[in-house]
Amino acid sequence: MNPSVQWMTLLYMMLAGTAMGFTYDSYRVLSLRLHFPRWLSGALDFLYWVWAALLTFRMLYAGNQGQLRFYVFVGLFLGVWFYFLLFSVTVRRFVVMLIQSVQYMLRLLWKVTGVLIGMPLLWLWRLLGGVLRLLWRILLFVLKLLLRLTKPIWWFPAKWFSPYWAKLAHSAWVSKVKAGMSRLRKR
């Protein structure tokens, strides 16, 4: 294997180490800010290491057709070390700023949605309630009016038959039926 391939592989491994450090920092900040459940943190850790392994072997395959040498590990270590030495603080601040920006945009979107959709729905709900109350009051008014207009039709016959209803209610056979019904209810 010639030295140019070895240097290219070392450079690829340094890039892979830098990418691993960047991803790890981003994941760490996200997990601290978003408070993932424990089971999800374990699953995300596993996914990170699967991604890191796939990235490393893909870069290794691109550099020297997958030959594992000592300088591969040196390149990974140097890439991670350079990343944490030079870029870690900046990336963490950037990720925090990105999270805050996304949260701000989501809050803004929620407020805009509330104004554009929620308020018209609330107005429609109030309008519907007002219309239903108005219709109910109109219906009650019409029914009361009908009751007053038809009072002579039903009031006089009821007044004429009321003495007969009183005699019928106090008759012997109605009393027996009432007593039988009350005995049946007591059982």
Question: 10, exposed or middle or buried, with CB in 10 Å at 0-12, 13-18, 19+?
Answer: buried
Q: Is residue 45 part of a domain?
A: yes
Q: Is residue 81 part of a domain?
A: yes
Low-confidence ranges of the chain (pLDDT < 50): none
What's the CA gap between 118 and 139, in Å, rounded?
A: 31
Q: Is residue 129 part of a domain?
A: no
Q: Is residue 143 part of a domain?
A: no
- What's the domain range around 53? 3-99
In the prediction, which pLDDT does 31 show?
86
Q: Is residue 149 part of a domain?
A: no
Q: Is residue 79 part of a domain?
A: yes
pTM: 0.57
In the prediction, which pLDDT does 106 show?
95
In the prediction, which pLDDT does 1 show?
63
In the prediction, which pLDDT does 138 show?
96
What pLDDT, in 10s, does the model give residues 90-129?
989 999 999 999 999 999 999 999 899 989 999 999 999 9
In the prediction, which pLDDT does 158 show?
67
What's the CA gap between 19 and 83, in Å, rounded?
A: 8
Question: How many structural domains are present in the chain?
Answer: 1
